[in-house]
Amino acid sequence: MDKPVSLWSRIAHALAALGRGEGLSSVFDHLRAPPERTVAFTIAVIALGAKMAKADGQVTRDEVTAFRRVFQIPAGEEDNAARVFNMARTDVAGFDAYARKIAGMFGAGSPVLKDLLEGLFTIAMADGEYHEAEDAFLHEVASIFGLEECCFRALRASYVPDADPDPFTVLEIAPDTPIDAVRKAWRAAVREAHPDRAIARGLPPEAVRLAEDRVHALNKAWEEIKGRAA
């Protein structure tokens, strides 16, 4: 039986298919079919992460290794991830061009775009600090993705310690929401964030940690609210 082609080998193939003079943003034009959306998702996180690292004026070792917190990268595959990162760093296209291509691929407001934004928050917090430039970057990406303001605030509250991780914000509900409605919102959010569902909509299995972290944040928020109501 033939060995399955790895995600990282598929990324290398996608990059190799770029024509002469084409920038990295054009790779998304060739990855619209559902089977290749996991490749597009991975390239998008790395490419936008590289642009974000450039936005805050520095690229630290922590930011580079943060990709390992988002993806499981087997030994020997680092070069393919590094190639995407370096291409994005040197590409003349702005991050907004990438974000618009990706939004067009998955559809504005798609849950996949929320997964992607979570990956970027993970990378932003890799060095233990959340810079103004990173906040502005992520806020603009969220806007281009068509994500609601409450969604952006919820993710920021989940990942940024100084952002006052209010549990109602994490669950994207109002503070005066009745406890039964809170429970309903929490259950719906957990179902949507479940790793199996996330993978079904395009999250690479190599990035399943994102879904697991999201479920953990939602459960923590619910437990805090439930404790207050007891």
CATH (domain of 121): 1.10.3680
Q: Which domain holds residue 69?
A: 7-161
The mean-pLDDT minimum among 55-64, 103-112, 145-154 falls in 55-64
Do the domain assignments include residue 194?
A: no
Confidence of residue 86 (pLDDT cuts 50, 70, 90): confident
Q: Is the pLDDT of residue 5 over 80?
A: no
Do the domain assignments include residue 170?
A: no
The mean-pLDDT minimum among 158-162, 198-202, 218-222 falls in 158-162
Q: Is the pLDDT of residue 1 over 50?
A: no
- 14-34 pLDDT per residue, tens: 888 776 667 787 888 777 766
Portion of the chain with pLDDT greater than 70, in percent: 88
Q: What is the mean predicted confidence (pLDDT) over 215-224?
A: 92
Do the domain assignments include residue 122?
A: yes
Does the global pTM surpass 0.85?
no
Distance CA 164, CA 144 (A): 25
Do the domain assignments include residue 137?
A: yes
Q: Is the pLDDT of residue 159 over 70?
A: yes
Question: How many domains does the chain divide into?
Answer: 1
- Among 2-11, 33-42, 212-221, the range with the most confident prediction by mean pLDDT is 212-221
Distance CA 197, CA 217 (A): 17
User: Is the Cα dihedral 188, 193, 194, 197 positive or negative?
Assistant: positive
Distance CA 210, CA 194 (A): 10
Confidence of residue 79 (pLDDT cuts 50, 70, 90): confident
Do the domain assignments include residue 167?
A: no
Do the domain assignments include residue 203?
A: no
For residues 104 and 20, the model is more confident at 104
Do the domain assignments include residue 192?
A: no
How many Å is the maximal CA-CA distance in the chain?
Answer: 64
Do the domain assignments include residue 93?
A: yes
Distance CA 69, CA 119 (A): 9
